[in-house]
Structure 1
Amino acid sequence: MSGKGKLDKNNKYDRQLRLWGDHGQSALEQARVCLINATATGTEILKNLILPGTGSFTIVDGNKVSGEDVGNNFFLTSDCIGKSRAKVATELLSELNDDVSGNYMEETPESLLTTNPGFFGNFTLVIATNLCERTLLQLDALLWEKNVPLLVCRCYGFVGYMRLVVKEHTGEYTETQSSLKLTESHPDSAHEDLRLDRPFDGLVKYCDSLDLDSMDKKDHSHTPWLVVIYKYLQKWKESHNNEAPKNYKEKKEFKEFIREGIRKNEDGVPEEEENFDEAIKSVNTALVPTRIPSEASSLFEDPCCTNLTAGSKPFWILLRAVKDFTQKEGNGALPLRGTIPDMTADSKRYIELQNVYREQAARDVTVISHGVQELLQQIGKESCISEDDVKTFCKHAAFVRVLRCRRLHEEYNPKTANTQEIGSCVEDEENDLVFYILLRAVDRFYEEYSRYPGWYDDQVEPDVHKLKSILMKLLQEWSIPPTIKDDYVHEMCRYGASELHTVSAFIGGTAAQEAIKVITGQFVPINNTFIYNAMKQTSVTVKL
């Protein structure tokens, strides 16, 4: 790509690049997404994937556009009635972004699963909307074997549903990618990695080079608060058996100790020194002991990390190299993140302090890079991990997550179903998980009657009794008390499997968000079921 073309693309995708970076955008642009059924929900999902630049999409849909489609699907118009829904939706969606390639198959998923099942294995992600239970389980079995993530979505009246099925979400590497995709959790409230409890040589040398007592007024008030805490921490340790403040009482005393260091004017009134105020406010977080998070520790003991083979994913090789680092050079700590928070300081000293952390982080990356290459040689695998990959992994080492979802077959099998979680909602009338049970019941209804309850207006009342009977049998299979209110059953029949555009739009945005997490390998996807109640505008995420 030319320099101008790259600049234009950076401008076009500026906001999202700030969220998931160049490597996330690269993964998105190389992704191949398959949408099964161009329903209102399906097209809303694709819209939200096409706009940020997903590489290509393919719609699989053997239906013709109906009047009902036109009534609830923003991307279909009345002059489309009778035409291929896959073709029309593809043409209209493709207009949203010239960077994205759109294709379609005028065939039902049931037919493709029979005649060409390998077709679905060619995608980065498959999104299925409004599939019956039988077809869904067929697709689940196929994609699980192919290791292709599946995102199941549906809107049923005022109920929205999502289910993510991914065997192992750690990120993958291909030769066409510019960087490795990682499971970066992007935590909202992570402690800064400052190492004040175990300062590294570069930090010690830099802080010791500064003398607060001999500084003039300006320099004293513009010394980074991190240095201030370090200085007073050393003084504190001298009179406390070389121990840092640990409990609330000691930290309170330490804060007062720092406060006494604020310079006073000729009248004995403390000067305004914002850096000291910041230091006092930062004591609790700055003195959090450096430790390896429990999630990372548990992954260190995962068989995929301890038993590397030539078939191991780069994620596990990187994680093993980090583990080895923590046990040797890191002395029980992860590689330094290399970042510091913003703080009141003059530019010179802030940049100097920033460089101290960056240089130590770079040294850790170098050590781990050597470790990665040694591991690759040991398992006889060609080098597939770049220096940038190692750098990115080290920066997020404290936040890596591995997501392993259950198969739909396990969830739908009464012997392996999570009946304890499902049953808990029966006891709580306000729990939105009750709609999961009702959706399972309407799927059973469809299997028995080849239509959904309340599909025809004159069948709503008769279908209430039929659906309730099916619901009771389902609850009996799960050994759950039959205490779901009749009002819920009646409401599901009244919906008649209708899709409301407002609900579809909400699920479309939420599902696209989860799809991007899976594609880019960033943030933490749902595990594994999401239910949305549009009547109350509430939702629940549960592992089933």
Structure 2
Amino acid sequence: MVGNTFPYTSQDWLNDVKLAHSSGIDGFALNMGIDDWQPARVADAYAAAQTSSLDFKMFLSLDIILPCSTANDAASLRTLVTTYLSHPNQLRYTRGSSEQLPLVSTFAGESCKFGQASVVDGWRSQFTQHPDLQGKMTFVPSFFVAPNQMSQFQGVVDGTFNWNGGWPVELTTDSTGSSSNSLSSTLKNLLGVNTTTNAIGKFSNLLGTGETSSSSDTASGLLSLEDALSNFIGSTDSDSQFLNASIGNTSNNVYIAAVSPWFFTHFGKNSFNKNFLYLADQHLYSKRWESLIPAQVPLGTDSDLNATSIQPSISEQVDIVEIISWNDYGESHYVGPIEGALPTGSEVWTDGMNHTAWLSLTSYYASAFKAGTYPSVSSNEERVVVWSRTHPASADATSDTVGSVPGSELVLDAMWAVTLLSQPANVTLQIIPSSSNSSTDSPLAQQSFSVPAGLRQAALESARILVIPATATATSILKNLVLPGLGHFTVMDDKAVTGADAGNNFFLDGSKSIGKSRAEEAVKGLMEMNDGVEGVADVRDIDEVLKNDQGWLKSFNIVVAHNGFLLNFLFIIGNTKAFPALLEYAMSLPLDTMDITDHAHIPFPVILVRALEEWRREREQVTGPSSGIGSPRTSAEKKAFKERIRAMMRKFDEENFEEAEAQAFKCWTPTVVPSEVRELFTLYSLSKPSSSTSSSFAALISALSQFVQNNPASPQYTSGRNRKRRNVFLKNSHALKVLKGREWKDINPGSKELLADKLSTNPKEAAIHLALAAARKLRAQGVLPLLDPTSGPNNTSIKGILDQKNLKDLLTAEVRTFLPPGTELPEADWSIISGEIARAPSADLPTTAAFLGGLVAQEVIKMITKQYIPISAGNAASTANEQMGICVIDLVETWTGIL
């Protein structure tokens, strides 16, 4: 887009030419507008192509914001074109002729008359058949008319550039180009306040899938919607329509197909007045390319990856592929770099949003299009290209005055990926820390897949972490939290940096940090990794804080080295026993006389409650309230119950009653409170919450427990805009866990019987755990500080001078107090483990710190986001002595184990 090249220098043009050529692009279509400086930039572009000595071409694409109402306007356009007809880098292309003529195109122009009686006469007499240009060019414009209207341009144009073919525009605009009557607008109306599965199903039918949701799959509505949309991504339907349009000798008509990665523009009425998008999800860029390349299928085994068979496609009819665009950032579809100083306000479209990774895919697909077969990928060319938006689809900017974007109803929150591999492999794309992931076996060189974008980043960005003290391991833990965007961390340490610290902690400034605050120096190093994170150094002694400022400690989500707990729950309830207020409401509705609009908006659970109560009254032969017991059991009863619901309809298309019929199974499906939820009720009793259980979760559990006692069941609502996400949650509910940990002050490593059992089943893991527990206890007694490198040789707190053998004996004696009498320690393993603890009880090697830092940070993220299950054992009802949940690591023999 020449209109975006005002700050370009000749070198900028040359750089673009070289980059594009190296990415498989053969030339630039120069979209030229009305600005008086643009002819000079066009001249620079042609000159750069010539200077490059590359086989790189240019051609004009006249943007008909240029005047086109008079004959003089036509003369100006002819002058622009004739200037470059003989340039050595002018693209020359003619189908069906040995004489290749200079190619000229347009953006729009379907209303230009150039002072003549009609558009056709204007283009014919004043442009293509004018003596200045007649027989001197191949004219392939992009006229925005229906394919069946192209026949009027017979003898005027030499082909068609289907500019809109790059996107499934029919999803977000109607035949007039308006978004008000588009399919996305129809969806928005269907998904209003009264969303129903059938509404989504009907929209899927509108898209042509013929699929509707079934009662056995409550998520199928939106899933069928996504499947339906995927049929439009990369489609060549509009290409076929233009190719079949008769504009003279169709065998000689040039056809230019469009390919584009995105289209989003958001300008208000005081600017360009453009606020819309074209759907570009589900790998539009790669799928569109693939639809224009001869279809290929892999033959044979893995060793035959490059053997393919060619199948028919429209590729034989496509002469040129035009990528939209190189640099049009105002519509978000640029694939090249944005050069030079931009107009004020343009930075919001470009800053931090480099799109040049598209060129990596362009090179691959462009080669395939030109050769008619996909190129092989060598091992040093392997790559994965990943893309996504920078915000959720439903996001609204707080200071945005333009309004919501028409078409956004169809946009998905996901990350998309394409792999280019040299051989088959399994590729996993995972969003950290949200835990959304997708895995695919990639048998071909190129493979596309996606993963839903998670919403857990907000939890990390709002988290507050306290780490004590500022050791190498502590800073390695924080490194793995600061990089992904932790909200706040505090490092507490009242010690100064020693030589040992400077030697083993990469986040300190070497010898320059010695003698300075260890906490302050650690924070300074960590902040260099991500200045968007808030980091604070606290030089107080932890003992002082515990005595005088415990409330401050409670302001943190997690204190590292402190065992906390992770809690979550799932509770599903159904329609078999409605609570009294709901039953009274359902039976009070005058279904036969109420307004027809209100009748069509009765929520389907209310319909089910009403139908079931009427069924029970008839069965019990009572006129008043039924016993509230019983539901259809036999096939005949269930069929009759559904017919009863249909008979309640007053119009044939009342979707709420259709959904009630589809969900009728809830009336005979028994519901119970899951056992793990009952464990929660036991853990969080109905008594007044203590300070340790005063979280909102505990309050909700208490309220839920009281509700279940009085109301065993209640309707379950599954409709609504977020129904798909809710069903994803339900699908994964089997993985929910409730965990409880021990207080840190409890030095006892576990019950004696449990530890003895672990020694027999996991001797190494148990021995290391016991040795570290014994060391911690000896440290608390003041014995172990002798070998602490931070203690000076004259430390008066040391109770005695102990050699390593004595310390091993002390460790062994201490461990035996943790075990039942007569329990044997694994002799060989214990000798090595206790010897290591005695030799260097608090050593902090950089490699060890880095590994442990990553592992602990991973556990912290699990606890913040509440998705993956932390290292644990037992469940909510387990006592402290019944669960351990300890990860033991041996970096000498390189293994990990769980106790």
1:465: which partner in 2? Answer: 806
Q: Aligned partner of 2:566: which letter?
A: H
Which of 523, 538, 543 pairs up with 1:110? 543
Structure 1 equivalent of residue 489 of structure 2? 57
**Relative to structure 2, which stretch is displaced further, 465-474 or 503-512?**
465-474
Aligned length: 348
Q: CA deviation at 1:443?
A: 2.6
Question: Is residue 479 of structure 1 aligned with residue 876 of structure 2?
Answer: no
Whole-angstrom distance in 2 between the partners of 1:87 and 1:31: 21
The structure 1 residue matched to 2:741, chosen from 395, 402, 405, is: 405
Residue in structure 2 matching 1:509, options 847, 850, 854:
854
Render the CA deviation track for 1:513-533: whole Å, top value 9, x for unaligned: 111122222222223322111
Residues in 1 aligned to 2:730 and 2:762: alpha-carbon distance in whole angstroms: 46
Give the residue type in structure 1 aligned to 2:865: T
1:330 and 1:397, CA in 2 relative to 1: closer, same or farther beyond 3 A?
farther
CA distance in 2, matches of 1:30, 1:85: 26
Counterpart residue number, 1:19? 435
In structure 2, what residue type is equivalent to 1:462? D
Written as runs of structure 1 = structure 2, the 5 A alignment for 1:350-361 is none
* Counterpart-to-counterpart distance in 2, 1:467 and 1:122: 40
Matching residue of 2:523: 90
Q: CA deviation at 1:502?
A: 1.8
Q: 1:103 to 1:464 in 2, by over 3 A?
A: same
Over residues 388-417 of structure 1, what are the superposed CA-to-partner deviations in whole Å (9 max), with x where a residue is unaligned? Answer: 9x889767655433221122344528xxx4
Give the letter for the 1:408 counterpart. Answer: W
**What residue in structure 1 maps to residue 840 of structure 2?**
495
Tell me how far 1:300 sits from its aligned partner.
Answer: 6.0
Match of 1:35 in 2: 467
- Cα deviation for residue 535 of structure 1 reads 2.1
> Quick one: which amino acid aligns to residue 432 of structure 1?
E
Task: Tell me how far 1:488 sits from its aligned partner.
Answer: 2.6
- Cα distance in 1 for residues equivalent to 2:758 and 2:464: 37
2:34 equivalent in structure 1: none
Give 1:430-445 correspondences, 5 Å limit: 430-445=763-778
Structure-1 separation of matches of 2:773 and 2:475: 24
Rg (Cα) greater in structure:
2
CA–CA distance in 2 between the matches of 1:432 and 1:512? 21
Matches within 5 A, 1:312-391: 314-315=696-697, 362=723
Q: 1:26 and 1:55 mapped to 2: Cα distance? A: 9
1:432–1:540 CA contact under 8 A, matched in 2: yes
The one-letter code sitting in structure 1 at the alignment partner of 2:496 is: K
Indicate if the aligned counterparts of 1:58 and 1:103 stay in contact, CA closer than 8 A.
yes
- C-alpha deviation, 1:316, in angstroms: 5.8
Q: Does 1:66 align with 2:66?
A: no
Change (3 A) 1:19 1:3: farther
- Give the alignment of 1:131-142 within 5 angstroms: none
Q: Give 2:888's aligned residue.
A: 531
Partner of 1:295: 676
Amino acid at match of 1:452: L
Report if aligned partners of 2:748, 2:818 keep a CA contact under 8 Å in 1: no
What is the Cα deviation at residue 83 of structure 1?
1.8
Q: Which residue of 1 aligns with 2:315?
A: none
Distance 2:688 2:547 in 1: 37
Equivalent in the alignment of 2:785: 450
**8 Å Cα contact 1:326-1:335 kept in structure 2:** no
Alignment of 1:419 with 2:788, yes or no, is no
* Structure 2 counterpart of 1:126, from 534, 540, 559: 559
* 2:434/2:456 contact within 8 Å kept: no
CA drift of 1:38 comes to 1.2
Percentage of matched positions with identical amino acids: 26
Matched residue, 2:657: none
1:123-202 equivalences in 2 (<5 Å) = 123-128=556-561, 150=562, 164=563, 166=564, 168-170=565-567, 183=568
Question: How far apart, in 2, do the equivalents of 1:479 and 1:455 lie?
Answer: 36
Question: 2: CA distance between counterparts of 1:297 and 1:118?
Answer: 32
**Which whole-Å CA distance do the structure 2 matches of 1:454 and 1:92 have between them?**
22
Offset of residue 94 of structure 1: 0.9
CA distances 1:77-133 after superposition (whole Å, capped 9, x unpaired): 3222222111111111012112211110123323433454433222111114xxxxx
Asked if structure 2 preserves the Cα contact closer than 8 Å seen for 1:31 and 1:124, the reply is yes
SS in structure 2 of the partner of residue 103 of structure 1? strand
The TM-score normalised by the length of structure 2 is 0.33
Equivalent position amino acid for 2:839 in 1: R
Give me the whole-angstrom Cα distance separating, in 1, the residues matched to 2:748 and 2:870: 21
Deviation of residue 428 (structure 1)? 4.8
**Residue type of the partner of 2:817?**
Q
Q: Give the distance between the partners of 1:291 and 1:410, measured in 2 at CA.
A: 38
The CA RMSD over aligned residues, in Å, is 5.0
Distance 2:765 2:458 in 1: 37
1:184/1:290 Cα in 2 relative to 1: closer, same or farther (>3 Å)?
closer
Does the 8 A contact of 2:517 with 2:539 survive in 1? yes
**1:215 match:** none
Moved more, 100-109 or 477-486: 477-486
* C-alpha spacing 1:184/1:49, structure 2 compared with 1 (3 Å): farther
Cα deviation digits, residues 435-494 of structure 1 (max 9, x gap):
1111122234432253238999x9999322233134224413533525343333223223
Q: Distance in 2 between matches of 1:309 and 1:121?
A: 16
**Alignment partners' CA distance in 2, 1:462 and 1:80:** 32
Contact 2:483 2:530 in 1 (8 A): yes
Whole-Å separation in 1 of the counterparts to 2:790 and 2:492: 24
Going from structure 1 to structure 2, the CA distance change for 1:421 and 1:98 (only over 3 Å counts) comes to same
1:34/1:58 contact within 8 Å kept:
yes
Q: Per the alignment, in what secondary structure is the counterpart of residue 765 of structure 2?
A: coil
The letter for the 2-side match of 1:483 is L
Mark the CA change 1:330 to 1:473 in structure 2 (over 3 Å): closer, same or farther: closer
| Aligned twin of 2:377 | none
* SS of residue in 2 equivalent to 1:433: helix
Distance 1:361 1:57, change over 3 A: closer
Do the aligned residues in 1 keep the contact of 2:774 with 2:814 (CA within 8 Å)?
no
Does the C-alpha gap of structure 1 residues 313 and 101 become closer, same or farther in structure 2, counting only changes over 3 Å? closer
More helix per residue: 1 or 2?
Answer: 1
- How many Å apart are 1:55 and its aligned residue? 0.8
Whichever residue aligns with residue 489 of structure 2, its letter is F
Match of 1:383 in 2: none
Question: Which runs of 5 or more residues in structure 2 are unaligned?
Answer: 1-346, 353-388, 394-413, 416-430, 437-452, 573-603, 606-633, 640-669, 794-799, 873-884
